Amino acid sequence: MNLLYRLIRVVIQSLFRDPIGFFDSSTLTFRVLPNDLDLNMHMTNSRYLSIMDLGRVDLVSRTKMGKSFLTGRWQAMLGAAHIRFRRGLSLFEQYQLITQVIGVDDKWVYIEQRFESKGTVVAYAVVRGVFLKRGITVSLTDVLEELGVDDVSLPPLTDALKKWKEADDAFKKSSRSD
């Protein structure tokens, strides 16, 4: 239930925070609550992924895309996620989630999400997702048009993102044959 309260908080705060560009970073601050903990008394791995959803909500809400989600019935769907944990977050520890689009290709938007506490990265994730309208993928051209972004300003995919995409696509192909 605490995620519902956090979601409401993020949405309301996004109405009063400065708008950002699609390639700008969004930073949210949270604290580890008792129901975020696992048996080892640190934030459970699945909670990181749930909190990352809130970072993407804030990013979309504070860009020009928020209107498309409300009036155009757009949806964001993840296609893949990779997360690396460096250390655990303890009860009541404060942390920041930094969310930023780091690349796009013909279909996917690649987003970096970092959890930081006490000046260090405690977890790092990269996700790729698409935007849907009535179950159909919204073209990158339409997304950029909605944002008022010029093709020239698109960040190129890094070699690491290209390799991750290739590996994920290869895994997807091999899992179909099983």
Strands 94-104 and 26-31 come out as antiparallel
Minimal CA–CA distance to 80: which of 161, 25, 174, 177? 161
- pLDDT reading at 68 higher than 80: no
Average pLDDT, the chain: 88
State pLDDT tens for residues 8-31: 999 999 989 999 988 899 999 999
For range 116-121, the mean pLDDT = 97
State pLDDT tens for residues 143-159: 877 777 766 667 789 99
Q: Is the pTM of this model over 0.85?
A: yes
Q: Mind listing the domains of the chain with CATH numbers? A: 2-176 (3.10.129.10)
